[in-house]
Amino acid sequence: MTSPCNPTPTGVAVLRRRSSSRLLGAVAAALLMLIGPVPAARASAEAEAAGPATPPAAAPPAAASPGTAPVTVPALTDWTPRVGTYAFGRGARLVVDPRDREARRVAATLGGDLRAAGHGTVPVVNGGARPGDIVIDVEPARKRSLGREGYEFTAGREVAITGATGTGAFYGTRTLLQLLASGGRIPAGRTVDVPRYAERGVGVCACYIHITPDWLENLVRDMAYNKLNQLLLELKVKSDKHPEANTWGYYTKDEIRRLVALGEKYHVTVIPEINSPGHMDPWIENRPDLQLTDSDGKPQPSRLDVTASEAFAYYTSLIDEYAEVFPAGSWHMGADEYMLGSDFAKYPHILEYARKKYGPDATPQDAFIDFVNRVHDYAATKGKRLRIWNDGLTGDHTVPVRAGTTVEHWLNVRTKPSELIAQGYPLLNASYSLYLVRGGFHMNTESLYEQRWDPRSFEGEKLASADGITGAKISLWPDNGRGDTENEVAAGMYLPLRYIAQTTWGVPGPDATYAGFTARAEAVGHAPGHRDLTRLPVAEGTYTLSDSEGRTDLGDREIRRTADGYATLRSTTGGLCAETRSGRLTLNTPLQPGTPVTEETCDPANTLQRWQLTAVPGGYTLTNAITRMAVHVTEDGRLLQYPTDQKRPAVWRLAPH
């Protein structure tokens, strides 16, 4: 039987957030129709050297003219062709100066990627180059011309890649890998390739719906391959200090350490976010003592009480615990939609707090900004710069946000982007037009491309200059958690990811048409080491499924591959399909561990009937494609879903019928 749908308050809040965002869809679409071809601004070497806190200087770039440039993403816009070709062959070597540790690290990563791409083992050697070699060099003296991330790439009898830093040289190797993706020959030529924006990213909310580490690792590799450098993750790390908050879907600290290490290897900074003081229910739903309580005495599970010292201590303890696994120099606290669906008038003690601290002219919003500033100051003691969303900066406050706080702009409110820049805040473009929502709004990449969208185009305002803009990112949200599977999300973000890479690194439209850009992106493909998560490890057909420990069996099941690479398990006797649907729902998704796997009427559109088969010693495990919990068999033979770190997944033997 199906349990009644009981969305948590958090589910309602987040759904409203994105629903309120969707109201901007028509406005955003109308704005996009007004945007004509505009140049992006190339960051100066000095701005890049200063890091993400220093926005790039505005400098109108030349129009994109790929001409004879070989195909890459982002496109090479200043390619100077020369006579001849570079031929990659079996005798190729990676040549570095023995004293250049950075170059050697870059070469080691490139060697592994060449092997993963099917180019064989390419040794790293010292000394002079010979025809067919790849020379990697790091020259700090060239920082003025190349910046922190730019590089020079020359192809001829050999390939020479030079960066002022290891990061710059690394990006040169990504260009090499892309050029080799279409064969072993590269036209002779030279380019100096420098990004226009310092922050080029992807934001992923794995805050309620768990996203597998394999999927996130694919994302990191593809980001680096396309020269994106920042992954913002809103998620829950399984807490040792606060076990009462460990509701699914969290990540273990070891899972995060592996992901961060991969990011460091591929020059992708992984920045964590714990949204606060709103959207806090993943952390405080079992802590009513920390919840904001209204004038009727009703606690709000999604809102932290910004006036309570215990609430601030709790939140900073989470910062401390995250710092154990996230070494990034930034901390994102969210700070959006604190009063979503309500208003400060319902909480008179907030105004009392603000006036007691800031005087009789203070507003309730000042108490909110006060909390943001206290988090800013605490994060600074940990060596981390604060980042927030923009919608809390409505102008209804007398207390300014601390200088240096990066504002990620997604919503059109009274305080415009130009005002924030004038006030000195680094500004990242995270516009609603760059959203990809499960089961909802999807970024219209074709429209953005045709209108030559670039990071100066904010919700509600188009800026003439890129001064003060750090860059842009696309954002993935799970509003309807069962609306799309991970694999469907990956397919849907293939072109958006490559477009945000193009428009933050280079010019917005390197090809005359969107079809041309699509062909460019397809020619480059995925990063070396990208895992095909859509491959079904068994042939379609009918199998007898039995638990390897002999506790139960699923009888004869017809296994069919779904279009997104999962499997359906249909009983040949009852004609029903395996599904998980019971228990408390969060974002329309049954995320309660220990709930049963049931037999339901087969529905090809029902993502909860899709299962991932994973080969393990002795057979296969079954993991639901949406909940990301595996099937566990109890001593008495019942089938329940659990995270794998809570209960051991059943191992299933599949005997062809």
Residues annotated catalytic, as ranges = 337
Check residue 237 and report its DSSP letter: B
For tokens 């303890």, what's the residue? 317
Residue 100: what residue type? Answer: D
Burial of 508 (0-12, 13-18, 19+ CB in 10 A): buried
Query: Rounded CA gap, 21 and 11, in Å?
Result: 15
Give the pair of three-digit tokens for residue 158: 């050999």
Query: Rounded CA gap, 354 and 366, in Å?
Result: 6
- 58-93: string of b/e by CB count within 10 Å (b at 16+)? beeeeebebeebbbbbbbbbebeeeeeebebeeebb
User: Is the Cβ–Cβ distance between 647 and 633 less than 8 Å?
Assistant: no
Phi, psi of 497 (to 5 degrees): -60, -45
SS3 content of the chain, % helix, strand, coil (to 5): 30, 25, 45
Query: Rounded CA gap, 512 and 453, in Å?
Result: 14
Phi, psi of 334 (to 5 degrees): 75, -85
Q: Which of 190, 186, 145 is nearest to 164 (CA)?
A: 145
Q: What is the DSSP string of 580-631?
A: E--S-EETTEE--TTPBEEEEE--TT-GGG-EEEEEETTEEEEEETTT--EE
User: Is the Cβ–Cβ distance between 509 and 459 less than 8 Å?
Assistant: no
Give the pair of three-digit tokens for residue 427: 């500004």
- 626-652: string of b/e by CB count within 10 Å (b at 16+)? bbbbbbbbeeeeebbbbbeeebebbbb
The radius of gyration of the chain's CA atoms, rounded to the nearest angstrom, is 26
- Residues 394, 410, 34: CA angle, nearest 5 degrees: 105
Q: Which of 580, 579, 542 is nearest to 559 (CA)?
A: 542
- What is the helix (H) or strand (E) element at residue 273, kind and residue range? strand 269-276
Give the pair of three-digit tokens for residue 618: 């002795």
Residue 329: what residue type? Answer: G
**Whether residue 277 has a cis bond before it, omega within 30° of 0:** yes
Query: Rounded CA gap, 124 and 17, in Å?
Result: 51
- What is the helix (H) or strand (E) element at residue 542, kind and residue range? strand 541-547
Give the pair of three-digit tokens for residue 116: 């993963």
User: Is the Cβ–Cβ distance between 96 and 163 less than 8 Å?
Assistant: no
Give the pair of three-digit tokens for residue 108: 């080691």
